[in-house]
Amino acid sequence: MRKVYLIVLNVIFLGFILVGCFSVKTYHKQPTYVYAAGGLEGLIIFDVTNSNNPIIVGSYNTEGYLCAVDVIEDYAYVADGNNGLLIIDITVPTNPNFVGAIDTIGYAKDVKVVENYAFVAENNKGFEIVDISDLTNPTIVGGYDTDGYSSGIDIVGDYAYVADGNNGLVIVNISNLTNPVLSGHFKLKGAHKVVVKDDYAYVGSFDGLMIIDVSDPTNPSTASILNMESEGYEIEIIGDYAYIANDESGLVIVDVSNPTSPMIVGNYDVRGYSFGIDVIGNYVYLADEVEGLVIVNVSDPTNPFLEVVKGFGKANKVIVEGNYAYVADDYDGLKLIDISEPFKPFVMSGVWMSGNTLDVKIIGNYAYVVNNENDLVIVNVSDPASLIVVASYDVTGYPNSLDVVGSYAYVINNYSVLNIIDIGDLSNVALLGNCNTGGSARNVKVVGNYAYIADGNNGLTIIDISIPTNPTIVGNYSEPIGYGVNIDVVGEYAYLAYDYYGLKIINIAVPTNPTLVKTFDTPGNVRDIKVVGNYAYIADGNNGLVILDISDPTNTSLVSNYDTEGYSSGIYVEGNYAYVADGNNGLLIFDVSTPSEPDLISDMEWIKILDVCAQ
Residue 154: predicted pLDDT: 97
Q: Which residues of the chain have pLDDT under 70?
A: 1-31, 41, 51-55, 271-272, 289-293, 309-313, 605-615
Kindly report, residue by residue over 223-262, the tens digit of the pLDDT: 999 999 888 888 999 999 999 988 888 899 999 999 999 9
Residue 2: predicted pLDDT: 36
Residue 12: predicted pLDDT: 28
322: left (phi over 0), alpha (psi -120 to 50) or beta: left
pTM attached to this predicted model: 0.65
Residue 25: predicted pLDDT: 43
Residue 116: predicted pLDDT: 97
User: What does the DSSP assignment read for 312-369?
Assistant: ---EEEEEEETTEEEEEETTTEEEEEE-SSTTS-EEEEEEEESS-EEEEEEETTEEEE
* Residues 6 or more apart in contact with residue 480 via CB below 8 angstroms: none
* Residues 6 or more apart in contact with residue 458 via CB below 8 angstroms: 437, 438, 439, 440, 476, 478, 484
Q: Which H or E run includes 244?
A: strand 241-245
The 3-state DSSP class for residue 553 equals: helix
Q: How far apart are CA 452 and CA 447, in angstroms?
A: 8
Residue 517: predicted pLDDT: 97
Residue 307: predicted pLDDT: 78
